[in-house]
Amino acid sequence: MSVIGVVAEYNPFHFGHEHHLIQTVRSLGEDCPVVCVMSGDFIQRGQAAVYSKFARAEAAISCGVDLVLELPLPWTLSSAEGFARGAVGLLGATGVVTHLSFGSECGETEPLEQLAELLLDPLFVNDIKAELNNNEGISFAAARQRAAAKRVGELSCQLETPNNILAVEYIKQLYDQNLHIKPVTVQRFGSGHDQTGNFGPRSASEIRRAIASGGDITGSVPEGALAVYQREEKLGRGPVLDENLELAVLSRLRMLDDAAFAVLPDAGEGLNFRLARAAREETTVDAVVAAAKSKRYALSRIRRMTMCAALGIKAEDAQGIPPYARVLAATQRGCALLREMSTKSAVPVITKPASVKELDDRARHIFSVCSAAHDLFSLGYTAQAERRGGADWRISPKIAIK
């Protein structure tokens, strides 16, 4: 039996995500279970998710996913390469996943596989360095694009779109980690990333903007997911907006000394000094990020670094792959997979948070970082009673009984 692995943020789950799952299952077999590695309470851009990881996982299993595992925060708040290494590595560590399915703009795996092989070429690193040295102020992404164009011509254009970029990173990790998992892709359609469109499903960013403004998202997300989000809002557990957490984040940043900024991911080339100064002077998180920005580095990198500082994440935390697989939600078919994973998984599988205390020091540290992040995230809830700390240690996986 084939087992489908996917990597997602589901922030929130929408019809484009549903289309991806339907098309993947249709191509590989209706009996194929789906395992998703999903970002937790904060997403790869260095921002809060609109609903908690527990709610988003529950929405996912109501819409076609069978098992949701959390991608721990240090890998979530990494570059595309670090994000992919952690997520794909965790899927591989389960011992049950046979296929990795992802969306892409190109809709076919062959060109993405060619680019992955190029990026893994040790000599290609020198090509990128040459572009950085010869073009003052150029970003890493632009330098890589130019270097790739000199090697593979028009094929390099596939590195210009966000889903293709992540897809290439996923395939790179399959190769680099020597995982016997076959990549498959579904062509993305509808509104582009961070764009407003007039056809196809609305993008996650469009839906988030509607949520933030109090708009009605009925018709933009599947009914199962909508029911979860509406319940969360009724209970005062969302939506969580960045502005709701701003003072909490700023206060964390201002309490840090220079040493804390020096050990952050991507802290080289003086970025740690720029960020430390901005954190002590600016009055909003956006202003902190803007003040620390330089020509070479994208805002998303600075924002991730800023959130890592606020959440206590060090560069060393995201080495390798996650040291455990924490279950957030499962269907009955997902529970059957968990029984299989109990003998095949290369990392401990956590279904009861209390079992974390039996793991090694690194696993306990990573779980504690995620737990502290959830405590901060919950301060964005509108219901005061729901802001109680320590929830990560109390909440068990959501099991769907069908």
How does the average pLDDT of the chain come out, rounded?
Answer: 93
Instruction: Classify residue 364 by burial, with Cβ atoms within 10 Å: 0-12, 13-18, 19+.
Output: middle
- Beta-strand relationship, 67-71 and 325-330: antiparallel
**Banded model confidence at residue 379, pLDDT cuts 50, 70, 90:** very high
Considering only CA atoms, which of 33, 144, 126, 73 is closest in space to residue 313? Answer: 73
Q: What's the pLDDT tens digit per position in 211-247?
A: 999 999 999 999 999 999 999 999 999 999 999 999 9
255, two tokens: 């309490």
113 pLDDT more than 50: yes
CA distance 210 to 92: 36
Query: φ, ψ for residue 56 (rounded to 5)?
Result: -70, -35
Residues paired with residue 39 on neighbouring β-strands, in sequence order: 71
- Cα 308 from Cα 130, distance rounded (Å): 30
Contact status, residue 373 vs residue 41, Cβ threshold 8 Å: yes
Q: DSSP letter for 32, please.
A: -
Measured CA to CA, the distance from residue 94 to residue 340 in angstroms comes to 9
Q: Is 363 in contact with 70 (CB distance < 8 Å)?
A: no
35-71 confidence digits (pLDDT tens): 999 999 999 999 999 999 999 999 999 999 999 999 9
Q: What is the pLDDT of residue 383?
A: 97
- Under the banding of pLDDT at 50, 70 and 90, the label for residue 194 is very low
DSSP 203: P
What pLDDT, on the 0 to 100 scale, is given for residue 136?
A: 77
Residue 325 vs residues 38, 111, 353: alpha-carbon distances, Å: 11, 31, 11
- Taking the C-alpha atoms of residue 190 and residue 201, their distance in angstroms, rounded to an integer, is 5
